[in-house]
Amino acid sequence: MQSFRTELENPIVEKDIIDLEKKIREFREGKIHDEKFRSLRLARGVYGQRQPGVQMVRIKLPFGKVTFSQLLRIADVSDEYASRNLHLTTRQDIQIHYVSLDRTPQLWEELQRDDVTIREACGNTVRNVTSSPDAGINPNEPFDVSPYAHAFFKYFLRNPICQEMGRKIKFSFSSDETDSAFSYIHDLGFIPKINEQGERGFKVVLGGGLGAQPFLAEPVHDFLHEDQIIPYAEAMLRVFDRYGERTNRNKARLKYLVQKLGLEEVVRLIEEERVANKSKSFKIDRDAVLDPQVPELLDYPALEDVVNSLDYKHWRATNVVAQKQEGFYGVYIKVTKGDIPTDLARKLVDAISPFAADEIRVTQNQGLLLKFVREGALPSLYVELKALGFAKPGFDSVGDVTTCPGTDTCNLGISNSMSLSVALEDVIYEEYPELIYDKDLKIKISGCMNSCGQHGLAHIGFHGSSVKASGKVVPAVQVMLGGGTVGNGEGRVAERVIKAPSKRATDVLRTLLNDFGAKAETGEGFNQYYDRNGKDYFYQLLKPLADLTNLKDEEFVDWGHEETFETAIGVGECAGVVIDLVATLLLESEEKLGWAKASYEAGAWSDAIYHTYAVFVGSAKALLLDKGVNSSTQIGVIREFDKNYVETGEIVLEGSFNDLVLQINKNEPTEAFATAYLADVERFYNSIKGTRGE
């Protein structure tokens, strides 16, 4: 590949992009190990697709906010580098697909021209910080959480403490106690509160997550002052980095650390770590995310025929909400499968720009929210949206099914979730049209058990699976029931009830809705009805649909496919050559030592200290591998190094390696400590090189 150079106003981003190009070139030349390159690439938002030789690029939109110009820029980039489609995700990102790895630096440069980043959109980092899409306009919110989500995004982006963790970390900010940002499934979830003194703060819940084994977050603070939320998160990340699992990927989330050590011990470690924080208190800039400019008042036509139509009334009742700003409305757009072709995205911006403020929010159910629409503009806006197919009523209702990409593009997909979501929505709109008003019952689908489509928190959830019948493999869905949001940081995990062939998922839905409609008691919600009857009742109810003795030929074919189904995890990503892993780890340590020195020269004491810590751990891990000792946590590396090198006398230190390294959480991040700690690691690194005869 040809060398690439960029010219951007932001030198930090420019360095990032040039570094990505360099690393791609070195990977192609076999100089970087495949696993290391994968980690680096993912942290730049570049993710291997199911299809060989192409990448998915995830574009990071903090709390789902995107301006008109940014959306147009993303559409242009998708046209030039990807498949002319924008996919909205459940984490308020936008994904584009079928991108050449070698072109990702140029793609990033183009995005950056409108202040859009892909940095840390994937990988073992802090992922996109999400919030309730209605933050800032919600009549019930104690205050707008958008500036707090923005502060988290800025503070942890490129932060040394969270660049190479064992797994990803997810933060969310809900706008009120209805918890529409699902705090209970996040590593840290925040719900806004105002105390008796009128101060702002948050209820904080910790250790949630979905995936194959869902965990509900547990409350750790009923009220944490707004100046303390970033210091608390920083200390938590430092603890997770040190104690979190790194070998077994399936056990590498924060929820498993809480399970292993206990919540009380994790909270204790967080408090202990706070002495080393860069920030003991962090004042959030409340004006960092201002309300967008209100659209100009126009002479809107009355459009009485439109206003009196049944379609408009359905749309107005289900997709339009009054803002806390008097006279203005938020308008939700239902986006089928979360997909917007780029030509349609451009037409959408043209259509809405006269009527809505220049700020769109991507929603967790893969839709869009427009803000500051005047009441008089609603009929005209409806006409424009309807012409584009974006005025379908029933946003966030039973008929608005959330889905992940499944086998369309994902390496981990087992069955097709996107085509199934369309089939389920068709059932609702064609057979149960009255349910477009029901926003208390959610249907969510994932292509596998990992819950990217959030099936684990659905009232009715499905995830891709398979069953065997007549010597063949049949595409199937695992039916999940009884999940959902309780409120104020509490939620429910859906229970696995039964597996059924995928082509019968529509009949599963009909059976459940018919039984619920016939047997629910007055005022009873779906989860109350589920709890009253119990899991076995629903197993027996759905058991006839799980019968594999009467399969038809078409049931061996998945939704959206013509060929017979095969369970196949997508092909692997580009392979690198076999290299000396010990030497590679030492080279990485040397590189991080350079970062430590650069941060020190810049007066960034905390960053210099954390890079120094990484040199200690990385160098020790390299020598342990030389002896065939592999530890799954950083704290384990530290302890094993004492056992295998210090206690045997092969490495001579004044005390233990544990005491040397863990000075990091016993000292304030001062210049004096940074100076001493850096000197310690240089001596240590040089002694290690001497041990290996280098």
In tens, the pLDDT along 663-685 reads: 999 999 999 999 999 999 999 99
**At 109, phi and psi to the nearest 5?**
-60, -45
Counted residue by residue, the chain has a size of 694
Confidence at 566, pLDDT banded by 50, 70, 90: low
> How confident is the model over 103-112, as a mean pLDDT?
95
Q: Which of 311-320, 355-364, 449-458, 554-563 has the lowest mean pLDDT?
A: 554-563
> How confident is the model over 599-614, as a mean pLDDT?
96
Confidence at 581, pLDDT banded by 50, 70, 90: low
Q: Of residues 257 and 556, which shows the higher confidence score? A: 257
* Residue 234 predicted with pLDDT over 50: yes
* Residue 368 predicted with pLDDT over 80: yes
At 179-214, the pLDDT tens digits run 999 999 999 999 999 999 999 999 999 999 998 889
Q: What is the pLDDT of residue 563?
A: 61
Three-state secondary structure of 208-273: CECCCCCECCEEEEEEEEHHHHHHHHHHHHHHHHHHCCCCCHHHCCHHHHHHHHCHHHHHHHHHHH
Confidence at 567, pLDDT banded by 50, 70, 90: low
Give the integer Cα–Cα distance in Å for 182 and 486: 10
> How confident is the model over 164-186, as a mean pLDDT?
96
Q: Could you give the percent of the chain with pLDDT greater than 70?
A: 94
**CB within 8 Å of 104: residues ≥ 6 apart:** 20, 24, 44, 46, 55, 57, 118
Give the integer Cα–Cα distance in Å for 42 and 562: 33
Query: Which of helix, strand or coil describes residue 190?
Result: strand
Residue 341: beta bridge partners?
85
**What structural domains does the chain harbor?**
11-112 (3.90.480.20), 130-276 (3.30.413.10), 304-335+350-387 (no CATH), 402-556 (3.30.413.10), 581-691 (1.20.120.330)
Query: Which of helix, strand or coil describes residue 136?
Result: coil
pTM for the predicted model, two decimal places? 0.93
**CB within 8 Å of 515: residues ≥ 6 apart:** 541
Residue entry with tokens 């967008």: 292
Two tokens at 465? 């699976």
Q: Of residues 16 and 152, which shows the higher confidence score? A: 152
Give the start-end residues of each E strand in 324-451.
328-333, 339-341, 360-362, 368-374, 402-403, 443-446
Q: Which of 126-135, 183-192, 521-530, 566-575 has the lowest mean pLDDT?
A: 566-575
Q: Could you give the percent of the chain with pLDDT greater than 90?
A: 78
Residue 339 Cα distances to 193, 331, 342, angstroms: 35, 18, 9
Query: Which of helix, strand or coil describes residue 134?
Result: coil
Confidence at 692, pLDDT banded by 50, 70, 90: low
Give the integer Cα–Cα distance in Å for 251 and 256: 6
Determine the longest span between alpha carbons in the chain, in angstroms. 89
**Closest to 324 measured CA to CA, from 382, 375, 372, 358:** 372
Give the integer Cα–Cα distance in Å for 364 and 128: 12
